[in-house]
Amino acid sequence: MKKILLTSIVLLMAANLFALEYEPSWRRADWYPITMLKISSAAIDDYSHLPGATNLTTSIEARDAFVTYMTQSYNRRYPSYQVIQPYVFTNYTAKADSFKSAQLYHSNIVFFAGHGNQQALAFYDRIADVDYKAFGGDIKWVFLDACLVLNVNKSDKLNMGPGNSYRDPDKFTKLKNAFIGTHAILGYYSIGIRLRSSSETYSSKTKYKYFAQYFIENDMGIWEAYKKAHKTYYDGAKEYLAGYEPAIAYIKGTDQYGRQHDGSTEKISSTYEVAMNPHQSGRNYDVKFYTQKYGTPEY
């Protein structure tokens, strides 16, 4: 009897810890700004330990730019608030299991830069499905600066946009499984081309300067800010940039109180405090998509 009781207590504790990934009970079901912005990240340029993968030169640069510009814009808009980095994985520390075991659910934003493919991310040591580490808890937004990761289309329809008739159900399910509370995942439906240049106009890291400005300082909705940042950058660099298709996969629907939520329109000034989990009973959430093509994207 004691053994059974002890086992039950252990299972209950495990269940409570697991629930923390989903929706901490202390959070308010309302809209508030984030008083301490927590950004965790992983960036890989060195793929020498991953067979078949070529080294990159701009992943770490992109990650550092994202964190720097977001911090600068946040400090300008909210001088009394803080920006911290709970986890920073770079090259050999950015291993799949390290990323999975990290308590990322205490972060508000997770950023990844490296190789990718449909619903797959290439870490330093191996390729992992996008749902290998599902995103929940306090994570509101995930940025995946990797090729094709949000493209859920059939393999011969990659360039057709996110229409239901082109969708591969298994790929969609895999991406949906990455959502256990996060409000939106932003990335690419196409090859995510990056340029390295000493000129701010041509350097692809500049898109994150624009995004931080639009999202934080101008208080635009997250998809509008992301889309406009890519357009502004593309307009300046298009003589060297064939094109790309930025995308957002976001949660839309109603919560247990019947309130409507749309993860694509959230603003930094008023973010929904409770996780939006499409797998949780009593909620009516689903994963939706927006994409926008600039130039002639490659797939």
Residue-wise pLDDT tens digits, 171-200? 999 999 999 999 999 999 999 888 888 888
Domains of the chain: total: 1
Q: Is residue 4 situated within a structural domain?
A: no
Q: Is residue 20 situated within a structural domain?
A: no
Q: b/e for 119-150, b at 16 or more Cβ within 10 A? A: bbbbbbbebbebbbbbbbbbbbbbbbbbbbbb
Q: Is residue 11 situated within a structural domain?
A: no
Checking if the pLDDT of 66 tops 90, the result is yes
Q: Is residue 8 situated within a structural domain?
A: no
CA 113 to CA 62: how far, in whole Å? Answer: 7
Q: Is residue 13 situated within a structural domain?
A: no
Work out the number of other CB atoms within 10 angstroms of the CB of residue 257: 8
Q: What's the pLDDT score for residue 264?
A: 97
Q: Is residue 19 situated within a structural domain?
A: no
4-22 average pLDDT score: 36
Residue-wise pLDDT tens digits, 249-271? 999 999 888 889 999 999 999 88
Q: What's the pLDDT score for residue 256?
A: 87
Helix (H, G, I), strand (E, B) or coil at 185: strand
Residue-wise pLDDT tens digits, 87-117? 999 999 999 999 999 999 999 999 999 999 9
> What separation in angstroms does the CA of 222 have from each of 154, 247, 296?
27, 11, 24
Model pTM score: 0.90
Q: What is the mean pLDDT of the chain?
A: 90
Tokens of residue 139, six digits = 């994570």
Q: What's the pLDDT score for residue 219?
A: 97
33-47 average pLDDT score: 95
Residue appearing with tokens 């814009």: 73
Work out the number of other CB atoms within 10 angstroms of the CB of residue 250: 26
Checking if the pLDDT of 37 tops 90, the result is yes
Which CATH number does the domain housing residue 57 bear? 3.40.50
Checking if the pLDDT of 28 tops 80, the result is no
Residue-wise pLDDT tens digits, 142-169? 999 999 999 999 999 999 999 889 999 9
Contact 271, 250 (CB under 8 A): no
Q: Is residue 33 situated within a structural domain?
A: no
CA 247 to CA 249: how far, in whole Å? Answer: 7
Checking if the pLDDT of 17 tops 70, the result is no
Domain residue limits at 286: 40-295
CA 125 to CA 67: how far, in whole Å? Answer: 24
Q: Is residue 23 situated within a structural domain?
A: no
Burial status of residue 234 (CB atoms within 10 A of its CB: 0-12, 13-18, 19 or more): middle
